[in-house]
Amino acid sequence: MLSARGVTRRSFMKLCGAVAAAAGLSQLAAPQIAQALEKSVIGATKGKLYPVIWIEGASCTGCTESFAQVETPDPASVVLELISLNYSETLSAAAGWSMEEAKEQTIEAGNYILVYEGAVLEGWDGQALRVADKPGTEHLIEAAEKANAVVALGSCAVNGGWMGAHPNSSGALGVQQFLEKAGIDVDVINIPGCPANPEWLVSVLVDVIMLEKLPPLTNEGKPEGIFGQTIHDNCERRGHFENGEFVYQFGSEEEAKGYCLYPLGCRGPQTKSNCGVTLWNNRRSWCVQAGSPCIGCCEAAPHDPGHNWVEVNTPFYKRHRDLRIGDWMVQPGTIALGITGILAAALVVHGFGMKITGRMDGGADFEKVRAWDKNHPGKAIGKYDLTRDEAKAACEKSSHNANAKAVESDEEEGR
């Protein structure tokens, strides 16, 4: 099958090595992956490939574009051809009625994977997104009920993405949260990103097909091998971060030296993903290597549409996110400057008040001799330039205090 498609054995082994890396495995696992793929997919005895239904929710089709526009024979391209893509509104050659029929037949036969791209829209009873004369929510329920697994592809599918940002008038939310509310019991694998890296989907599909089980998942339902560490953990600029070498302005000498982009709003320390390991565009580069701070597009809490990467991370090139107070948004730095201004104004008003009331005119009387030195003339530690009368008065006061204490002590002994 591969030879007929112009794929050599060497290219196929390169594919298996790339899939191993995408799945977080050692390159030594490539032969086992090759054997499993040949047995379960390429050499399938049933005469058909593993069926996949790919539904577009509310999306820009960015994840489809990411998956499709890769060089052959890259993992995404080869596996896409080896998998029977029975339904895809973006990539299918068929259209209209014939396409919907293919989806119905696939659902009826069962044993398929559902890939859902884009946000689920609950607004206006699901009519916010209407496809083939039915609400988009109904399409998802029908396809998810019999699926072996559901892959929520991209941040929009994980928790509504940028469409879930305030005020979220369309009621956008993620696939997992919607299916749980609808009472559909099915395994959901969340692959965030805007768009998602195609190799992440490849690794999940191979896991399900090859091992017939889900990959290890985090508590948010994301593949642990991909989203178990922060971008900062594997960033090529981390050494500069540890050395305190940062870029504070684009076009500066520090930027030319490849210093850390944290002050320019890089969200790498708070975003979990292996972008710096898998890379993009046939492993050529990735955002930070290309000179852009990470904007945290993989941040997506499946059960909280409000925790979408746009609302959490904007403005992208500022160190702090905006704080929302009702419909009002403000930067923490602006709040700090405002408080500083209020305190400064209060001090000025206080100063004028002191002046008006005359409390600043005379000033306070200060002791010419420390109280300790006055009370302990033999142990005085200060040196004073006093007049004769001042010194005499200080000594008389000290003697008087000493005599008073002596009398008090004698009286105590007598009692």
Chunk the chain into consecutive blocks of 10 residues (it has 415) and report each block's average pLDDT, rounded to whole numbers: 70 78 72 73 54 92 83 58 79 78 90 94 90 92 95 96 88 96 95 92 82 88 94 94 95 95 94 92 88 94 90 85 71 82 90 77 65 76 64 58 54 57
235 marked as binding residue: yes
Mark whether 127 and 206 lie in a shared domain: yes
What confidence score (pLDDT) does residue 247 get?
96
266 is annotated as contributing to ligand binding: yes
Alpha-carbon 262 to chain mean position: 14
Determine the 3-state secondary structure of 78 from DSSP.
Answer: helix
Domain boundary among 333, 350, 370: 333
Structure-token pair, residue 402: 């000493």
298 marked as binding residue: no
CA distances (Å), origin 403, targets 134, 218, 228, 305? 105, 82, 80, 82
Q: Domain span at residue 96? A: 49-223
Note the pLDDT of residue 390. 59
Q: How far apart are CA 137 and CA 145, in angstroms?
A: 12
DSSP codes, 145-177: HT-SEEEEESHHHHH-GGGGSTT-TT-EE-HHH
The answer to the question of whether 16 is labelled as a binding residue is no
End-of-domain residue from the set 298, 313, 333: 333
**Structural domains of the chain, count:** 2
257 and 202 belong to one structural domain: no
Residue 115: strand pairing partners? 54, 151
275 marked ligand binding residue: yes
What pLDDT does residue 47 have? 45
* pLDDT at 214 (0 to 100): 87
163, 198, 223 - which closes a domain: 223
Q: Are residues 203 and 80 in the same domain?
A: yes
pTM of structure: 0.71
Looking at residue 391, its pLDDT comes to: 57
Check whether residue 283 and residue 182 sit in a common domain: no
pLDDT of residue 2: 67
* 315 plus 215 within the same structural domain: no
| CATH number of the CATH domain containing 274 | 4.10.480.10
- Assess whether 90 and 112 both reside in one domain: yes
326 domain-assigned: yes
Give me the amino acid identity at 358. Answer: G
The answer to whether position 16 is within a domain reads no
Residue 339 domain-assigned (yes or no): no
Alpha-carbon distances, residue 411 vs 365, 383, 397, 403, 405 (angstroms): 36, 35, 21, 12, 10
Does the annotation list 294 as a binding residue? yes
Considering the domain architecture, whether residues 269 and 134 belong to the same structural domain is answered as: no
Rounded to whole angstroms, the Cα distance separating 208 from 213 reads 5
For residues 323 and 329, what is the distance between their CA atoms, to the nearest angstrom?
Answer: 5
